[in-house]
Amino acid sequence: MNLIILTEADALADGHYELSDKRAEHIISVLKCTPGSTVEIGLLNGPVGVAEIESIDESTVKLHVKQTQPAPVISPTIDIICAVPRPQTLKKILLTSAMMGVSQLHLVRANRTEKSYLQSPMMEPENQLPYLLEGLSQGKLTSLPQITLHQLFRPFVEDTWPDLELASSDDNVLLLADMDTSATVLELPQLKTAKHVTISIGPEGGWIDYEVEHWRRLGFTPFCLGPWVLRVEHALTASLAQVTLANTIV
């Protein structure tokens, strides 16, 4: 935990918070804090800062936020469209998305999404939250990615996506991670000045031709991540790393 994420549920009053879960355990056992010590904190969807430990009573920690500053801004803003993955993979996608500052995560049912994935408890927001919080804590960020599940592919690409403000924004660059192209993100000049990027990442085995055709028709430009056959979670990390890098070119 690089940052202790505090939520409204932990708040007492006037900047005082009480923790008694694994964050308290981390403060006591790993950080070895005592009353008067300070810890780095982040207020969920708010600023980061420093809090002072007021008291430690067995497994309960009380702390007081002393100082705050705006949380880091990750630029460009990146949204991810990801085929609904198996539950174990979804956990990694959630953690990575939060850790690397993904803004919106659209989980879309793909032809190769197994039906059972959609019935997994991991599709429930309350089961996703711990992985998102772990990601924020690791990445020292505070903004929860906004997660939306789209149970059907065609209504998403035909109705939902085109209606989103970003879909038609000139500032938004649309990318499709694709093994069938040799063009890299460095060959996309529009990325250099992009303020916003949306990346579509397929399921294990990839999007089927019908799905790829839809992405292309919607203006998504295929790009090649490299010579590898990656798992979905690695494709996500590699995409974010390459797109952000390409965006630094002056």
Q: Which stretch binds a second copy (CB under 8 A): 146-154, 162-170, 210-218, 239-247?
A: 239-247
Assess 189 for contact with a second copy (CB under 8 A): no
- Rounded Cα distance between 156 and 108, Å, is 8
Nearer of residues 112 and 150 to a second copy, judged by Cβ:
112
User: And the tokens for 18?
Assistant: 């009480």
What part of residues 18-57 is at the interface with a second copy (CB under 8 A)? none
Q: Which of 166, 156, 103, 97 is nearest to 128 (CA)?
A: 97
What part of residues 149-188 is at the interface with a second copy (CB under 8 A)? 184-186
- Contact letters (x/-) for a second copy, 82-121, by CB under 8 A? --------------x--xxx--------------------
The answer to whether the CB of 44 falls within 8 A of the CB of 23 is no
- Kindly tell me the burial class for residue 145, based on how many C-beta atoms sit within 10 Å of its own C-beta (0-12, 13-18, 19 or more): buried
Q: Which of 109, 59, 67 is nearest to 86 (CA)?
A: 109
Residue 178 CB, shortest distance to a second copy, in Å, is 15
- Rounded Cα distance between 129 and 220, Å, is 30
Assess 230 for contact with a second copy (CB under 8 A): yes
Site residues (CB under 8 A) for a second copy? 2, 72, 74-75, 96, 99-101, 138-140, 184-186, 225-231, 234, 237-242, 244-246, 248-249
